[in-house]
Amino acid sequence: MQTFTFYASDDKLENRGNKLTFTGQQINEAACDLAREVANEGDALVAGGVSQTPSYLSCKSEDEVKKIFKKQLDVFIKKNVDFLIAEYFEHVEEAEWAVQTLKATGKPVAATLCIGPEGDMHGVTPGECAVRLVRAGADIVGVNCHFDPMTCVKTVSMMKAAVEKAGLKAHYMTQPLAYHTPDCSCQGFIDLPEFPFALEPRILTRWEMQQYAREAYKAGIRYIGGCCGYEPYHIRAVAEELAVERGFLPEASQKHGMWGSGLEMHTKPWVRARARRDYWEKLKPASGRPLCPSMSTPDGWGVTKGHTELMQQREATTKEQLRPLFEKADAKY
């Protein structure tokens, strides 16, 4: 069970006019307690996580950024989590700083970047990113968010090849989106016009999720999960696809037939004809939207660490600050 501490650093909680009702420490402590309570129901592990910071994008120093990680880390040590995760980093340099801070505890550390095959926001390749993270002390490396499952499997495969070529050892993990992102470039789904409130047409079926689980396993990835867009039936599909390797099925699988076999009881014969694996594996789902575009044109503005538009501020974004952004976006279309 992972603590719900994503982006729960004080500099993020205070960003863009957010009024703090609780401190970051209070939020992180509560998150640890909740995760442990649920984990104890099934004898599961608890992981505490940190993620990228507005301070890094605002060009704060290494010491300043590490202090932010250390502040969260103190809570995780107090609550005695089982292992630590540095996740959702666009720049490998900041991820290295996070890993170095977390590794000082002696607990196992996993590190994931939100990157695709093109590498991080400064063009560092996935392979080089992975090697740097392992050398910084990460026991597990991989990717999370920003890209679809198959893109993430491809990216982690590149990481694994580079780590092995460097003579290093690591475990590998992937937590992709549940959305198709074939039209995304370096920054992933953040650039899509549909982000974040109109992504549903891109969602993967449960059958595509089973294919992802198999391809991830074949690639040597053993920490196989998901990120934004994942529903319970997606996680169940992953577990069902790897039931033989895991040695058991999830409890939820008792409530439905595998590969649509429950349709054998349907009143319509053409629906009963779909009660088989090969039907769902070969299906090309339609969107149902007349004249829908097959892909989008991403909004890649080409800004990253140090750009004035990314600088952290505690005050709410003003209308004067928003106007040029609206005009820039409108001009694109």
* CB of 179 closer than 8 Å to CB of 152: no
Which region, left, alpha or beta, applies to residue 106 given φ > 0 means left and ψ of -120 to 50 means alpha?
left
* CB of 67 closer than 8 Å to CB of 25: no
Q: Is 228 annotated as a binding residue?
A: yes
Q: Is 114 annotated as a binding residue?
A: no
* CA dihedral for 237, 239, 244, 248, sign (positive or negative): negative
130-162: b (≥16 Cβ within 10 Å) or e: bbbbbebbbbbbbbbbbbbbbbbbbbbbbbbeb
With H, G, I as helix, E, B as strand and everything else as coil, classify residue 69.
helix
Which region, left, alpha or beta, applies to residue 288 given φ > 0 means left and ψ of -120 to 50 means alpha?
left
| Residue 76 CB neighbour total at 10 angstroms | 27
Nearest to 171 by CA among 127, 208, 210, 130: 130
DSSP 134-146: HHHT-SEEEEESS
Instruction: Please provide residue 145's backbone torsions phi and psi, each rounded to the nearest 5 degrees.
Output: 65, -175
Q: Is 227 annotated as a binding residue?
A: yes
Taken as a whole, the chain contains a residue count of 333
Spatial distance between the Cα atoms of 113 and 270, rounded to a whole number of angstroms: 45
Q: Which residues are annotated as a binding site for Zn(2+)?
A: 145, 227-228
Q: Which residues are annotated as a binding site?
A: 145, 227-228
